[in-house]
A and B are shown apart, each in its own frame.
Chain A
């Protein structure tokens, strides 16, 4: 099963995401934002970056891009769709995930290591992790503060839609951006559309300082193998 990595003109983690997918043996292809069809792809990644410059608001223009109609269609048909960083912002702007990502409380771009707790392992993206496992992953964003109204937050908790939470680990880490509920990543009700601010694709080799992100890609690889 091929995985589509959507490339907006300002995407800049597209190649990194493809690299991480291919390392676990998945076949990944870059798909230009003007593409009208995603026929033949078994999963979709929306990578990090600055989709269309993001001068207005991260992801605010990307939701109108031609390829997004197809992304929506695949999401509705239950295909795995994952947004990382800017991809998460695009998914919330497009309404495929609830809530919004606001400017970090420190009001600037922040690049550093954080710790996440895995809250769910029954998803096509997380099956290779252990429940409550703590991951060390990098963040790199200026608008990553997850926000939703109380009702939505309650629903997310109730439906177990919160997949990753920022945690402190041995005195380090903690919530880096003021996200409500320490939310770092959420999934839709159906469990096939995942968005997260930290970058798992930057933590897939020991030479990069952490391999804790690899589970996302190996999990997906297994999920796609069972589908195919």
Chain B
């Protein structure tokens, strides 16, 4: 039954046209206010009800995700999630997207993505100790304008991350980077930050009644106006004109703000902390008031600004960087101001909390906007009908059994290692300071996950972010399950027990059936894997509308897993280190060709069913390798991922240049044995003394395994039932090192 609606006034229609707010949302706003909103008020709703701030399309779906676990101190809903790691310590972490800004202005887009996520961690009372990033780009290796644009974006994004992270002094310890044609127009830049805190120093975004609310940090300018809203619409031809929506980062100011905030927390000067990020003053202040069950009165005249003549609207929507909101403890106001002065920063009481639950904004003595805080916080939500694209269904159903087996298997490995998705990442991570802080126990390129130790304890955390867009494109639900399973596996093979994860969900337009289907299936897959592996989500971010007239990105759930090593001395890296050690595979050699990197590189085909995932066996395989590392038997372990067994073995020869000789006795297509993909597979090496016990442990868990051969020499030799393949490590390494070096010389 259609309700008869009062027609909108001409003025309202013009405002809707200007703001892009849909009619149904406007009517809901009128209902919540009990009157028509003014222009400024309507803009407050526009940014607060954007997908970026409100999760209006994803919130009902996100309820499915398990959020509880024994280590969880703080789940989703605050600036970041927090898990306990023992000895009185906890880690706060979160991933956040900065996709659209990076597409328009790669250097600043990426830099401010890093700056923003750092402030989220600081707001929890944690000192940032590690940064990671997950990057997706289009075609790197085609000539012409497409390749040029990809190179421009890679150089800009990597440069921006380096610019901010290196200067602020937080090590960038890991990440992943993936190239796929569907990201050509819409690169993805997600940044993750991890911070360390004492459990008792955990902070929240809260304020008591009648408290002054301080603005700390950089002055407000006209940069990044409406950034959150910009992030919540499709990129288009006009996006170039959105360059003013991109914020400008200043890592030096970021450092001052970070240090001042952390010192204020350490000295116990503040009761509440909030990052001023997306939607600037609007979001930070209204959310803090709402979470505190209070209202708030903001005096815009007090806001420090670096430009003259800024209107209330510009002030409220500015996303100028390096700003924090602090609520001092009673009587500590002067101490907070003095501390800020020591760091040369503005610290100004711009607002005060009030009993009436409204967000009231004053300018030049006049009230210019007043809306109930709950109205801004609780946007409308949408539950839509999703439908899978028939084109994707057809691709997935494609029969691959008739594919010819290539004659030159020797050359295939060289080709795979030189693929943009498998080649060396050193040209990227060498631009990041990954050691500042002197805690990085496993540096990029040496292991499947980074390890960061906690000084003064034996503990360390293992960190990895991962997502395979090919799997997700062909099967969104399975792809999401793989993303969590693989990130957790990477953490496990270095010796870390996964505690929790953060998810950066990057998808297409949820207002289309295909886009919504991919979003809902992705979340359903994460929920399933989360439950089966016993790893809860504690924070995350949603970036939708990564879609344009001619493309939709593959659903890309960037899963960042944090794991714990109770003894940092018991850890594993990926490289073969000792000649004579035995190489063991957990799992079977035969993999699948569907959705594989092999299929893409050799045939230019992205089709078939991604590998099925048995989550119980996955959990067991991960537990097994952790046990072997924890007992001190295994120091070398590596996940078998894209490119299959042969690529994984080659990767294990690279760090120390030590080869191996291996025999695969299984039946099957040789290409599926060498390059096929399957989850839950782990390679490790173990010395003679511990081989028996390691095998016995795998047997006791009922895990399939093979002793493949031994480490030694400077060649990689693989014996198949009918063929013998041999490569020198240096020839493998040469082809593997080159491709990204051409993009980032």
- A12 and B745 contacting across the interface, CB-CB below 8 Å: no
Complex CA gap A108/B434 in Å reads 15
Q: Which listed residue (B431, B441, B443, B745) contacts A109, Cβ 8 A?
A: B431
CB distance from B129 to the nearest CB of A (A): 11
Contact of B433 among A9, A15, A109 (CB under 8 A): A109
B167→A140 contact, CB < 8 A: no
Question: Which B residue's beta carbon lies closest to that of A112?
Answer: B430
Contact with B along A51-80 (1 / 0, CB 8 A): 011110000000000000000000000000
> How far apart are B298's CB and chain A's nearest CB, in angstroms?
29
Residue A209 at the chain B interface, CB threshold 8 Å: yes
Which residues of B424-439 have CB atoms within 8 Å of chain A's CB atoms?
Answer: 426, 429-438
Partner of A108, one of B251, B256, B431, B568: B431
Report how far A55 CA is from B679 CA in the complex, Å: 47
Contact with B along A4-37 (1 / 0, CB 8 A): 0000011111011001100000000000000000
The reply to whether B255 and A140 form a contact with Cβ atoms under 8 Å apart is no
Q: Would you list which residues of chain B between 384 and 439 have a CB under 8 Å from chain A?
A: 426, 429-438
- Which of B162, B168, B252, B568 has the most chain A CB atoms inside 10 A of its CB? B252
Does chain B have a CB within 8 A of A199?
Answer: yes
Q: Which residues 102-154 in A have Cβ within 8 Å of B in the complex?
A: 106, 108-112, 138, 140, 142
Is B589 engaged at the interface, CB distance under 8 Å to the other chain? Answer: no
Question: Residue on A with the closest CB to B165?
Answer: A109
Chain A residues within an 8 Å CB radius of B343: 9
Query: Given that A9-B343, A10-B255, A207-B569 are known contacts, is A111 also in contact with B435, CB under 8 Å in the complex?
Result: yes
A88 within 8 A of B: no
| Across-interface contacts of B433 in A (CB, < 8 A) | 109, 111, 140
Determine if A50 is an interface residue (Cβ-Cβ < 8 Å).
Answer: yes
Residues of A186-228 at the interface with B, using a CB-CB cut-off of 8 Å, are 199, 201-202, 204-205, 207-209
Chain A residues, Cβ within 8 Å of B293? none
Across-interface contacts of B431 in A (CB, < 8 A): 108-111
What's the tally of chain A residues with a CB closer than 8 Å to chain B? 33
Assuming A16-B436, A16-B438, A112-B430, is B169 touching A207 (CB within 8 A)? no
Kindly state whether residue B35 has any CB partner on chain A within 8 Å: no
Given contacts A9-B252, A12-B168, A106-B745, contact A20 B162 (CB under 8 A): no
| CA of A204 to CA of B344, assembled, Å | 34
B472 within 8 A of A: no
- A208 and B255 within 8 A (CB): no
Which residues of the partner chain A approach B167 to less than 8 Å between Cβ atoms?
10, 12, 50, 53-54
Which chain A residue lies CB-closest to B730? Answer: A171
Contact of B169 among A12, A54, A109, A205 (CB under 8 A): A12
Evaluate contact between B169 and A111: CB separation under 8 angstroms: no
Nearest-Cβ distance from residue B263 to partner chain A, whole angstroms: 12
Given A49-B169, A50-B251, A53-B252, also A12-B436 (CB < 8 A): yes
B162 lies within 8 A of A109 (CB): yes
Chain A residues positioned under 8 Å from B252 (CB to CB): 9-10, 50, 52-55
Contacts of A10 in B (CB 8 A): 167, 252, 255
CB neighbours of B159 from chain A (8 A): 108
The interface bits of chain B over 154-166 (1 if a CB of A lies within 8 angstroms of the residue's CB, else 0) are 0000010010001
Taking CB atoms, residues of chain B closer than 8 Å to A209 are: 443
Scoring B residues 438 to 464 as 1 if CB is less than 8 Å from chain A, else 0, what string do you get? 101101000000000101000000000
B568 touches A207 (CB 8 A): yes
- Best-surrounded residue of A20, A106, A108 (most CB of chain B within 10 A): A108
CA of A110 to CA of B433, assembled, Å: 8
Within the complex, what minimum Cβ distance (angstroms) separates B435 from chain A?
A: 5
B215 to chain A, nearest CB (A): 20
Question: Least Cβ distance of A167 to chain B in Å?
Answer: 19
Give A201 to B435 CA distance when docked, in angstroms.
10
A18 to chain B minimum Cβ distance, whole angstroms, is: 10
Of all chain A residues, the one with the shortest Cβ separation from B253 is: A53
Contact status B162-A207, CB under 8 Å: no
Residues of A within 8 A of B251 (CB): 50, 53
Which residues of A are found within 8 Å of B441, using beta-carbon distances? Answer: 207-208
A12-B432 CB under 8 A given contacts A106-B745, A108-B162, A207-B441: no
Q: Which of A48, A142, A207 has the most CB of B within 10 A?
A: A207
Q: Which residues of B contact A20 (CB under 8 A)?
A: 438
Interface residues of A (CB under 8 A from B): 9-13, 15-16, 19-20, 48-50, 52-55, 106, 108-112, 138, 140, 142, 199, 201-202, 204-205, 207-209
- A to B CB contacts below 8 Å, 19 in the list: A9-B259, A16-B436, A19-B438, A19-B455, A20-B438, A50-B252, A53-B167, A53-B252, A53-B253, A108-B431, A109-B432, A110-B430, A111-B434, A138-B435, A140-B166, A140-B433, A140-B435, A202-B436, A208-B435
If A111-B432, A202-B438, A207-B568 are given as contacts, then 20 extra A-B residue pairs at C-beta distance below 8 Å, sorted by A number, are: A9-B256, A9-B343, A12-B436, A13-B169, A15-B437, A16-B436, A16-B437, A19-B438, A20-B438, A50-B166, A50-B252, A50-B255, A52-B252, A109-B162, A110-B431, A111-B435, A138-B435, A140-B166, A140-B435, A142-B166
Q: Which 5 A-B pairs have the closest CB atoms?
A: A12-B169, A53-B252, A16-B438, A140-B433, A50-B167
